Amino acid sequence: MLKRTGLQMAMKKFLFQNYLSAIRALLFLASHTRHNISFSLNLLARYSPCPTRRHWNGVKQIFRYFQGTKDIGLYYTNPSEKILVGFADAGYMSDPHTGRSQTGYVFTSSNTAISWRSVKQTMTATSSNHAEILAIHEASRECVWLRSVIQHIRESCGISSGQEAPTIIHEDNATCIAQLKDGYIKGDRTKHNLPNFFSLVTCRRVVTLLFKRFVQADLFTKALPTTTFKKSVHGIGMQRLNELK
């Protein structure tokens, strides 16, 4: 009995150490080049304090995916006109244990991703509409920062940008877009939404919201079918080497 207990403890320690090492390596890849694993990795990282064999199998599945897609990467071009475009989405109650939703957004320049994030929301959304508002708010904050960085680079290089057009952020919830465009109106359905979530979006000079039935940010909020997953990956600039001209 003591030998069996000692063996189980040794196996748990081995699993814990290897799990943390794998998560750290995958986090580096997800934050730099392989953003297509951001959602699944975010789920697996939540169980770092106490991983099980099921979570370890999930990590190994990601490594097997890398083995079959070693020739995929972000492909950046140098067109004359670089347009910043954003995609935002939310996965309502992606964590059923805590009732938290998932925020996902990605910004592309010349159709290639330059900034992305997949993270569990810090607030408990009371509806899918509420979760979408929180996601758009986070995406709008990132948009403001990206615009300031781009403006600083242009000024440092002596490039005159003139009057910069608002950045378009695509969202797949038409009701949420209509509510944000109308501004904060306190009512029975919106009284749980804080007014500061509307501040950046209502600034039409910075952000313009457009409805799009399919947005690439779905990749960062939920598990997708294989065909949809490949379409999302290709839509944000990841290509295979044999596809490059």
Q: Are 171 and 132 in contact (CB under 8 A)?
A: yes
Spatial neighbors of 9 by CB under 8 A, at least 6 apart, are none
The pLDDT of residue 196 is 54
When the candidates are 3.30.420.10, 3.30.70.580, 3.60.15.10, 3.40.50.12160, the CATH number that belongs to 74-243 is 3.30.420.10
The pLDDT of residue 76 is 85
Residue 243 or residue 221, greater confidence:
221
Report pTM.
0.85
Q: Are 41 and 223 in contact (CB under 8 A)?
A: no
Band the pLDDT of 2: cuts 50, 70, 90. very low
**Runs of H (alpha helix) within the chain:** 2-32, 38-45, 53-68, 128-156, 174-182, 226-235
The pLDDT of residue 1 is 47
Over the stretch 59-109, which tens digit does the pLDDT of each residue have? 999 999 999 988 888 888 877 667 889 999 999 888 888 889 999 999 998
Q: What is the DSSP string of 15-62?
A: HHHHHHHHHHHHHHHHHHT-GGGHHHHHHHHTTTTS--HHHHHHHHHH
Where, residue-wise, is CATH 3.30.420.10 in the chain? 74-243
Over the stretch 31-49, which tens digit does the pLDDT of each residue have? 988 999 999 999 999 988 8
Rg (CA), the chain: 21
Over the stretch 95-109, which tens digit does the pLDDT of each residue have? 888 889 999 999 998
